Structure 1
Amino acid sequence: MGGVLTTAGLFDYRFTRRLRWRQDRTLSFVQRQLTKVWWILMGLGVLMSVATLFYGGGYMIFAAWIFLVGLALVIHGLFSEQPLEWYGASMMLASVLLLALRVDYQLTQWLAAALFGVGLPLLGLILRYQPQMRRLMALSALVGWGLLVCLMAEAGYQMTRGSFDPQAEPIRLADFAVDQVRGEQIVSLPVGSPVPLYLIWEGNLLQSSELEPIPLRLSQPLEILMRDGVPEGHYRIGGGEWREISYNFRVPRLTIQALIDKETGPRIDTSLRVEIGE
């Protein structure tokens, strides 16, 4: 996304300068400063995109891009087209709601694609006729613009979701272990099912020698989609909606404390909280 926006910005900058040169006009001081603001915010977005590859937080990246573009529109509207303030503010509010409501990652991806691919060009067309619009018509244009973007995002999201039958009858784990067939199956795991965790520790100072499982148990019923005997990536908890594990697996808290006990010697106490989207 950062590469696409950067390329679009370069072409826009070049064509704008060429058009100004043909019209024998120069860029105003305000327009030059706004261009710098756009470049700074887009550069910040690229930096965040690269940083998530090393430090995590990738599930927030599309909401962050929507927020940055909305902020750029608000700043642009302060010195130029005032209606841009409302459109930019609505984008900033939408990005905050995406994170607060924990909207599915794939849906935020489609929302960003619809917003940048269709919403922004459509916004340019709306601004062309904005001076002739009355207040009620301008408000209707804003609402219609937002609804169109959301509908396109939802349509793309629904078309790219898994093609399996979510109403298929799930089978028990015991039946799955006895008769593994090729194709798709939904395996049901009841509350209390054991899920041993095998942890491999590697590093320049510490490493694990033997794999000793950490006993874990399910606190809610879980259904997993299996394809040819391997988890396909879709799951649902407690009969809720089907979700993909990508970016729905989060670790909001990780605490590591090194101690030296007088009796047992050095040890590491770790506290981990894992959240899987429901």
Structure 2
Amino acid sequence: MVGNIPSRLIKNNFYKGLFFSATVFISLILVVLLVRIFSQGAGYLSWDFLQNFASRRPEQAGIKAALVGTLWMMAVVVPASSLLGVGTAIYLEEYAKKTKLNHWIQMNISNLAGVPSIVFGLLGLTIFVRMMYLGNSVLAAGFTMSLLILPVIIVASQEAIRAVPKELKEASYGLGATKWQTILRVVLPAALPGILTGSILSFSRAIGETAPLVVIGIPTFVAFLPASVMDSFTALPMQIYNWTSRPQEEFHFLAAAGIIVLLVILILMNSVAVWIRNRYQQRY
């Protein structure tokens, strides 16, 4: 006791004040960054900025190649990571036995979720670029980014599947459904909000990552659009990285405009995740 106040209450108030101060400090930093980015880049946002290719002249530079290249890359990332991630989660939760080997695999998947992204870039460089001879193509970048976000999708999908009430499964089995029919018609629909939320947040991370693309050799200056998944390309993070590394101040303003476009894409994706989650939570 400190006077008439319990020491536990003092500690709780201290930690609450510390967390509140940290939250306010981080929020202020975020506000300053957003104000700086929008003040520098808002004036450079235009239809020409979205339609023009990259250029050595700031007044003619745009993000068309980077924007289309990002869409191409995500067209590889989304199906590859979703199928492998959700399929792995279903196997680990519904089919795999509780052995030491499976426990070791599960532990490593959880650990991989915290590995720095540049490590996955080195893995993609070794496997996809050099061993499979994919070069700096859309396919190599998409597979590398899929490796990056797979652990997060697997863990999020496992948690969503694990949260499905056992009563729903038992009711399905009681009606004569097989294990696969139960998974397909009961477990997956009930776990879909959590799976989609984790997956879309993972896709947002893949869109904003730069280090793996740098490692596998994705070019920073491209003045053409890819015609297939085997073509070379560039992405929004690489274009922003290129502009920020230039000495001319106008390119820094262009980088700020590119960051605004990237933020809009991420906000839209996260909004879709929230909408899907709320809709299916009301249904199930």
Give the TM-score, by structure 1 length: 0.26
Structure with larger RCO (C-alpha < 8 A, sep 6+) = 2
Could you say which structure has the higher helix fraction? Answer: 2
Could you say which structure has the higher strand fraction? Answer: 1
